[in-house]
Amino acid sequence: MNESSGPLNGPSEASPESGRQTDFVQLLRDNSDCPETLYAKITGDRRLEVLVPYKGTRCAHYDFGKNLHDDFMLFRGGAVSELVVKPSGQPDGAPHIDAAKRYDVLKPWSNKEYALCVSPAGSGHPHQWLPEHNRTGTVFAVSQQLFIDDKEVTDWSGQTGFRPVQSVRLVQRMIGIHPDDRSRPIAEIDCSHTVDRRGVTVRSKIIWLYPVSIGSGYGMMVPIEGSFAYKLVTSLGRVYDATATDRSRTNLLDDDQAVSYAFLHRPDAEDGRSNTVAAMTIHDIGSTLRYGQEGRRRNNPVVWLEHRNEQIQKLYPQVFDQYTAQAGDFYEAAGVYFVGELPESHPLLIKRD
């Protein structure tokens, strides 16, 4: 088991002893030049990309898309791209806007919002993941709505370029289905994603329709591209190594008390990577981490970091561990993700070694 590499004690950062917490999303906002205008493009059936500029033409490039074997439109990934503006030749003079991707930061396709491994209580059926894992579809749409600047868009035809907008919102109402008991839904699931200059805000609510065995479950996860990962910093000031690739785990000494997390790249990288930070701040931490409730991760901290392989490092808030939920029980998770940049002189970057 890996251990913490010790506290970060920069003058403007929190330390574990101080009790203060640093909101890394807000820190990135404060150090970014995010205009009101962002850019959105529908790329196909329930596929969407959004660019949020944070420094000149440099953008956080977020994308969303439907799973392959069920309907859930997940927050697929977050990259850094350059905004490309070219003359379009159109009569109205509107330019053609595109993006040149530089590098991935948030691991594409890896679940971020929630992941719950469930089976009808007492059924003997194997546990399956909500939403889809391992090519097994489990979450299906009742309704899925896309709002751009608060106006509903119903045409998912692919577009050739991005268009300027101020906000994008996905609202999904779904049902969870266990593949061995398709005759009755196991859960009602509501999930919303809002993208604006403040980042990607996510809210999920899962209501159990009858008793359900939850083998394990997570909310507001942070999967990081392996080539980007170097250090994980918590809002209480601790720093953890994020470079092992042997499927080991680091149990966070902060347990469930840190409200915000930041992943940092190595200091010697090019193309802006060394200044880039991926952050997630939990909203409603008592609900998201199930404070005071039974059935959370046992005998170890609730929050831990998986060093899965060379492709991914993943932060897991494990809010369920061998628990039986009753009909009408519910779980809510909420938070915000932000990919941005800090100046080289910032204490967070100086102290990462």
Could you write out the DSSP letters of every residue in 198-219? TEEEEEEEEEESS-EEEEEEEE
Which pLDDT score is estimated for 330?
A: 98
Q: Are 160 and 95 in contact (CB under 8 A)?
A: no
Angle at 313 between CA 248 and CA 117, to 5 degrees: 80
CA count, 13 A, side-chain hemisphere, 103: 19
**Residue 181 DSSP symbol:** B
Q: How far, in Å, are 18, 168, 305, 340 from residue 278 at the CA level?
A: 24, 20, 15, 7
> How many other C-beta atoms are found inside a 10 Å radius of the C-beta of residue 61?
26
Which pLDDT score is estimated for 90?
A: 72
Q: Are 282 and 289 in contact (CB under 8 A)?
A: yes
- Cα separation, 79 vs 17, in Å, equals 34
- Cα separation, 99 vs 97, in Å, equals 7
Could you write out the DSSP letters of every residue in 27-86? HHHHTS---S-EEEEEEETTEEEEEEEEETTEEEEEEEEE-SSS--EEEEEEEEEEEEEE
pLDDT in tens, 30-81: 999 989 999 999 999 999 999 999 999 999 999 999 999 999 999 999 999 9
Which pLDDT score is estimated for 352?
A: 81
Which pLDDT score is estimated for 87?
A: 81
- Cα separation, 32 vs 27, in Å, equals 9
Per-residue pLDDT of the chain in tens (353 residues, 90 and over written 9): 444 444 443 333 455 544 689 999 999 999 999 899 999 999 999 999 999 999 999 999 999 999 999 999 999 999 999 999 988 767 766 788 999 999 999 999 999 999 999 999 999 999 999 999 989 999 999 999 999 999 999 999 999 899 999 999 999 999 999 999 999 999 999 999 999 999 999 999 999 999 999 999 999 999 999 999 999 999 999 999 999 999 999 999 999 999 999 999 999 888 889 999 999 999 999 999 999 999 999 999 999 999 999 999 999 999 999 999 999 999 999 999 999 999 999 999 987 87
pTM, entire model? 0.94
Q: Are 233 and 264 in contact (CB under 8 A)?
A: yes
- Is the bond preceding 131 in cis, omega lying within 30 degrees of 0? yes
> How many other C-beta atoms are found inside a 10 Å radius of the C-beta of residue 285?
19
pLDDT in tens, 275-290: 999 999 999 999 999 9
Q: Are 140 and 187 in contact (CB under 8 A)?
A: no
Tokens of 328: 């009408």
Task: Map residue 236 onto helix, strand or coil.
Answer: coil
